A and B are shown apart, each in its own frame.
Chain A
Amino acid sequence: MKDFDLKLPDSLDAAVGELPSEYSRDGAQVLAGGQDIVTVMKDAIERPAALVSLQRLGLDAIEWDGDGGVTIGATVTIQALAEDPNMEFSLPALREAARSIGSPQIRSQGTVGGNLNQRPRCPYYRHPSVSCFKKGGSVCLAEFGFNKYAAIFGGGPSYYSHPSDLATVLLMLGATVSITGPAGERRVPLSELYLLPEDALDTETVLSPDEILTSVHIPAQPPGARSSYLKFKERASYDFALAAVAVSVTRGDDGVVTEARVVLGGVAPKPWEVPAAARALVGEPMGPQAWTAAGEAAVADADPLEHNGYKIHLVKGLLFRALEALA
């Protein structure tokens, strides 16, 4: 690995001050748990001259407000998130997503902020010798090559699928992230955090290189809403999602769905909300007919490549299973 400076600022302002305003391959980058940035550095995919650690900034708290909302600091570990005593009752889908991530070692070191900001897992991006759009190159080898894991929505000119489990659930929960940069703090809804490849290739988010994602705020959920996260790992023991669904359903007294939200993971360069699937559920009683209709609606706009058409079947199956578990 290329030598780098480790910066350990004591304040957010100082941390921001260490970061460059323009992206470059050797510009300073943020270090939270290091589970992603260190791997891309080891493979010389990124070669930052400095890492700016968030370790001393006190961003590691989970704070529940009285009304059921919660604010999660960027350096809260995935393990701490999964183990938070309120999580199982209040936000079971988020807990399930946290538990599905990596291995115990990775969950203990990896952070919420790092998970949201991780880089693509596309085998071409991760291969040290391959040039691609995401690394400043001029091609996406996945488009006509090995694209089994690639996106079926939102692809082009690059076809990676976003690897974050937390992002998928947080979008379903209507979360907002707080971002601090030289101009101060701004809040961005999770639905606006991620960019598609057609909008940007050297990053996956709206964060500037000198901005730091400091926390995530999840508002109180609608009364009676039930939610779940179902992730399909090819290797159950430790894997990223081939596809995942985060779904929330609220039912009236008659059992008919009054509100629903469906977000897909692992199938697009960002968490992919499918309002049509939610609409297919609203006004219907929970049952196989509605679940199948929601699945069909969820994949209606899919545009698969040569080797990832199976994800269409998979998304339908996963959505069915997730809704079945909520019924």
Chain B
Amino acid sequence: MSHSAKGSPASEPSWGKRSDLDVLNRDIPRVDGPVKATGQAIYTHDVRLPDMLWARLLIHPVPRAEIESIDLEAASEMPGVVHIEALKESGDTVRYHGDDAVLAVVAAETPEQAADALREIRVKATSLPPVVTRAQALEDDAPVVSRRRNADANVGRANERGDAARADAALAEAVAVVERTFEIPVQHHACLETHGHVVQPAPDDEPVTVYASTQSVGGTPRGLARTLGRDASRIRVLTPHMGGGFGSKFGPGLEGALAARVANTTGRPVHLMLTRADEFAIAGNRSGSRQTLKVGADSEGRLVGLKLEADKLGGVSGGSLPGPPYIYTVADDDAVSSKIRSVHTATDGSRAMRAPGHPQASFAMEAAVDELAYLLGMDLVEMRIRNLESDVHHRQLRRVAEEIGWAEHPHRDRPGTAVNGRAVGIGFGVSVWGPGGRSSRCDVTVRPDGSVVSATATQDLGTGARTYVAAIVAEELGLTVDMVEARIGDSDLPPSVTSGGSVTTGSSAPAIKDAAHKAREALEALVADVLGAPVGSYSWKGGRVSVRGDASRSLPWIAVCALLREPLVAQGEFRDFLHEGRIHGAQAARVEVDTLTGRVKVLKMVTCQDQGLPLNRLALRSQINGGMIQALSYGLLEQRVFDEQDGFLLSDTLDLYKLAGAQEIPEMVALIDDEDERPSVCGMAEAPVIPGHSAIAGAIHNACGARLTRMPFTADNVLETLYGKI
């Protein structure tokens, strides 16, 4: 038996006045920072179990092929091989580069033995035309690689909105019109920890334990139940630490199913983490796009008409692209028309990736706004403010403009020119997001010895979630963060949400708050017998509880807990009024372009971001910085590259899939928009990744007049835009 803190509370929880907060809305160092920085944190990749097997996958190197034979004999005789199986047989087809290209799985006593055995598998196959580019997919006689039912071409049904004739009419009357075609390559999530699992089988009467690098510790048991042949309730999934997901790790995937199957078959623990090359081949991506965007403005700079024709390039998946006008407002809704379709290639399907579709839409729309401003001779910030409805965006744009030095910048309404081949420019972009909040639970346990545990089945993808799981409770009970133990990453804990779409904080933080509040009221009911004031009239600060207005009547925390005869368990749940998911951001970038060499050096990036109450300002700025870095890397470098002749994925190493490193990182300023005083919380991870590359492209244009319509902004792209292709 334990004390129960269920039942209707005496008062509703609230985040409180910001001036009263002692823990939240401050810089809180991550509670797991030391174990991560010292290498003690155990990620799924680090799990080592007695008698564990190491599994590796054989992935066919070209996207389309007819399999003649897969000969496992030599491989099965290699040292250390315990399990080997082919996933395709003679006559089967490899239909796309992705999970359909996994030909075999090998499990051996060491990872090296597994890799050596893979090389001894003899595959005879006939390659088919690869269909890896949009152009190849759209050729008249292109093989149909679309996975859509009854597909007779590689083009999905177009999503058409608006009236093209009305848009044309509005554009015909516009004072300034810009039309451009934008091409955006496929980006990878490039998680530092690759996808994978360690599966520990168990007798029927014991739970199977699965270590998973997942964004859904709570959903993974269901995802593996059928493969493991048991009910999800008898599968325990653990994600103690996690090396990034960005939308690519919602389910166990083929690699998880194979780990489970090999563990079931062999009866031994199986470690199956994708290699980096596997990761690039089958673990998803952000869809590319090709957008032809035409936008017109009147003499006042108001957008009056817009037409978009776009192809989403999500491989065998549909891809993502929100409809126009992205964030900006066109005066007459009816003067906006769009036609968006999916063009399918025989390549790995796109998955959700940090604000799916939004960075792609931002790139085209911000470019159009820049160019219209220049055609009209208008200031880039003023042009934006005239076409953004929200005054939150207005103040944020002014704030980032001030921080980037816009007022002193010599060319705000026209591009500059290079002097001795060097030019400096500034660009802008805006973001929005609607971070959800939904059903989530949390248990807060207070023990007679004063220890406190805050437990919920969320996962920390590297965001800092673990820290607020403790900090919210510490705030409510007047404790320091280190006095509360945060327990997460375990599917046996009270259920919480899958971390996607910035829903984690908006869902779990209200439930943690609710549980902490219930624990507090239950403790106040005990304290009332000693201090004499009714529940609801106490202040919890500095490790003491005192009667509000009479500090002489107080007890230290340890004495409060001593009143407990057994642990107090308070069960919290999602409270909608503690959450609000409507956020805004603005970014600015300052770049230097060397017009002789095509070098783009980003000198400074600034973000201003709102999200209601900042739970942890340090983690928030860190995540904003992460968004800027990911957008910078996307803009400057990242690009999946296939050989178009035979279909080899060439960019399947971190040598050739180029991510920004320390030398690319500019001065970064993350401003938390404290004019947002909403008494609510929500996540904000998606927003800061949306406009950074757009702001950089705008800054390049502002610097030297070169409008890059292709990403990334590498030297070849800059030089060809400036001087033409040779």
Binding site for B on A (CB under 8 A): 1-2, 44, 121, 123-124, 126-130, 141, 144-146, 148, 232, 234-239, 242, 304, 307-310, 312-314, 316-318, 320-321
Contact = CB atoms under 8 A, between A and B. Distances in A.
A237 B664 contact: yes
A238 B121 CA distance: 35
A122 to B, nearest CB: 10
B643 A124 contact: yes
Interface stretch (B218-226, B452-460, B711-719): B711-719
Contact of B661 (A1, A148, A235, A316): A235
B641 interface: yes
B719 to A, nearest CB: 4
B663 A236 contact: yes
Contacts of B1: none
Contacts of B645: 141, 144-145
25 contacts: A1-B112, A127-B650, A141-B646, A145-B644, A145-B645, A146-B643, A232-B597, A235-B658, A236-B661, A236-B663, A238-B661, A242-B715, A309-B725, A310-B719, A310-B725, A313-B598, A313-B722, A313-B723, A314-B598, A317-B598, A317-B719, A320-B421, A320-B596, A321-B421, A321-B596
Given A232-B597, A320-B596, A239 B658 contact: yes
A235 B715 contact: no
A227 to B, nearest CB: 19
A103 to B, nearest CB: 9
B231 interface: no
Given A124-B650, A234-B714, A310 B597 contact: no
Given A232-B599, A309-B725, A317 B594 contact: yes
B597 A312 contact: no
A126 B714 CA distance: 22
B116 interface: yes
Nearest to A148: B716
Nearest to B646: A141
Given A127-B650, A320-B421, A312 B596 contact: no
B662 interface: yes
A317 B664 contact: no
A64 to B, nearest CB: 32
B558 interface: no
B139 interface: no
Contacts of A304: 726
Contact of A235 (B597, B598, B660, B716): B660
Contacts of A146: 641, 643-644, 650
Size band of the B side of the interface?
35 or more
Contacts of B651: 123
Say whether chain B's binding surface is mostly helix, strand, loop, or mixed: loop
Nearest to B720: A310
Contacts of B156: none
A237 B660 contact: yes
Contact of B594 (A127, A128, A310, A321): A321
Contacts of B656: 123, 126
Top 7 A-B pairs, shortest CB-CB distance: A237-B661, A309-B726, A317-B596, A129-B61, A236-B663, A310-B716, A317-B597
A235 B648 contact: no
A307 B716 contact: yes
Contacts of B644: 145-146
Nearest to B661: A237
A1 B607 CA distance: 46
Interface string B652-668: 11011011111110000
A159 to B, nearest CB: 14
Interface string B125-152: 0000000000000000000000000000
B17 interface: no
Nearest to A288: B420
A312 B652 CA distance: 28
A34 B88 CA distance: 38
A314 B646 contact: no
Contacts of A235: 637, 658-661, 663-664
A148 B646 CA distance: 17
B73 to A, nearest CB: 19
Interface in B49-64: 61-62
A228 to B, nearest CB: 15
A42 B663 CA distance: 28
Contacts of B655: 121, 126
Given A237-B664, A304-B726, 7 more contacts: A2-B116, A126-B656, A141-B645, A141-B646, A235-B660, A313-B596, A316-B596
B661 A232 contact: no
B119 interface: yes
A130 B726 contact: no
A41 to B, nearest CB: 12
Interface string B106-122: 00000010011001000
B715 A232 contact: yes
A314 B719 CA distance: 8
B650 to A, nearest CB: 4
A316 B594 CA distance: 12
Nearest to B597: A317
A234 B637 contact: yes
A124 B112 CA distance: 24
Contacts of A148: 716
Contact of B421 (A145, A236, A317): A317
Nearest to B722: A313
Nearest to A308: B716
Contacts of A239: 658
A168 to B, nearest CB: 17
B321 to A, nearest CB: 26
Contacts of A307: 716
